[in-house]
Amino acid sequence: MRKWLFLMVCCVLPSLLWGQNTSILGTWKGTLDTGNGTLDLYCTFVETEAGLAATMSVPAQGTYGIAIDRVSFDGMNLSLEIDALVMKYRGMLLMGTVAGTFAQYGMELPLSFVRGELPKLKRPQEPQRPFPYEEKDVTFRNERDGHTLAGTLTLPQVADRAVGYDAIVLVSGSGAQNRDEELMGHKPFLLLADVLTRAGYAVLRYDDRGVGASGGVFETATTEDFANDARAAVAYLKQQPNVRRVGILGHSEGASVAFLIAADTASEATTCDFVISFAGPGVRGDEILLSQQRRIYTLSGVPSNQIEQQLAANRLIYDRVLAASANDEALRQELERVVGNPEVVQQLLSPWMYAFIRFSPQAALRQIRVPVLAFNGTKDAQVIWDLNLPAIESALKEAGNTHVSIVPLEGLNHLGQTCQSGIPQEYAQIEETLASQVIDTILSFLAGL
């Protein structure tokens, strides 16, 4: 009898848990009041073989499908945690509303969720298959770091392939990106690959290391590591039949990668023949961050005295990182005394951020002899055009490079969109993926090579 009772309990428990989970399945919308405005968050819950799983999306910030690391729900109490965002949520489901507390970086705010749907995004420029050219999935090996990268190679339809064509590697900006550089609901690299291939160029775009189908580890990688991946991409293209010259088009941090490779002429197999810098930096990382913060705070309406206080505090932090001899425990302890928040210090001392603050493209730029196009939008709030373009131009002139085109593009933001202010919150709201100015500037430069 006891054995039968035990079996019955075992059979009933899964169904009870399933019943608990069904009340939370689907998409829920919450509006977070930050004090400086509101932000809509969406959580989507699904049942998997492993149990309840969830993702979070923040359309205003162009963030979709962030995996929630830990999800717990007992039919009433809900708990969510995202390690990378240092975020926790605790709430209780009553009468169709989850009421609770959102916590991040020591800040706690009330947040309630009700059932809702993610807004559908219009992206009229996104290319639609079938394409009038060859498209194939490929892999190539980064022997230096020991992993394989996966991407898409598009080959133009030309009357005589024996004549050959130039090829271009697309290198994405900071953050974990797939081969389309998909962000904010936009796929700029898919659009660029389509435009360039139709114009007669072979194009290779690939998933960042540790992203999508690519091997390797993203979390510990720095700009120098990403340059090794791009070198492998260049080498792969140079091995393909009918390819004449190989160039790199780098967006944001991807431009820094392009500068490093163009400056390194030690190996013909991995250097490039031309560079296109799309919203690329020309100054050191700490200057990028401070100028970015000033612009975004100002556009967001933060009072000037508060801006100056925050920038002064950040300047002290960055100076300590710059003065450090190593990213070690001594630096961690020093920053924890200054900052007072271990979670913030952990982000500051991530391998990428530590290296980014200290990295300057100037040394590489002074060694580049191949043709360079550098363009930035005049409303770019992340890489400020009138700080970075002059720095790029000056360094290239020091190199004696006479094949340089510097182009500020009026009214465009960091993604190359026509915009109002340029703040990142606009990115997802703009239907345009790339302004015609961006495409025309690139094609004009390529036609003149």
pLDDT digits (tens, 9 = 90+) for 154-190: 999 976 667 899 999 999 999 999 999 998 889 999 9
The pairing of beta strand 107-115 with beta strand 26-33: antiparallel
**Long-range contacts: 50-57, Cβ < 8 Å, 24+?**
52/21, 52/24, 54/80, 56/80, 56/82, 57/118
Residue 292: predicted pLDDT = 97
**What is the pLDDT, as a whole number, of residue 21?**
58
The reported pLDDT for the residue numbered 51 is 86
How far is Cα 226 from Cα 266, in angstroms, rounded to an integer?
Answer: 18
349-377 pLDDT, tens digit per residue, is 999 999 999 999 999 999 999 999 999 99
The contacts of residue 107 (CB under 8 Å, 6+ apart) are none
Q: Give the CATH H-level superfamily of domain 24-115.
A: Calycin beta-barrel core domain (2.40.128.20)
Q: Where are the domains of the chain?
A: 24-115, 134-283+360-447, 285-356
* pTM check: above 0.85: no
Q: Which CATH architecture has domain 134-283+360-447?
A: 3-Layer(aba) Sandwich (3.40)
Contact assessment for residue 173 and residue 252, using Cβ atoms and an 8 Å cutoff: yes
pLDDT on residue 267? 87
Parts of the chain with a pLDDT under 70: 1-22, 62, 159-161
Count of CB atoms situated within 10 Å of the CB of 384: 23
Q: How far apart are CA 378 and CA 330, in angstroms?
A: 41
Please measure the distance between the N-terminal and C-terminal CA atoms of the chain and give it in whole angstroms.
86
Residue 64: what pLDDT? 81
| Confidence (pLDDT) at 11 | 39
Inter-residue contact 246 to 272 (CB < 8 Å): yes
Quote the pLDDT of residue 105.
82
Q: Which of 263, 270, 290, 292 is nearest to 279 (CA)?
A: 292
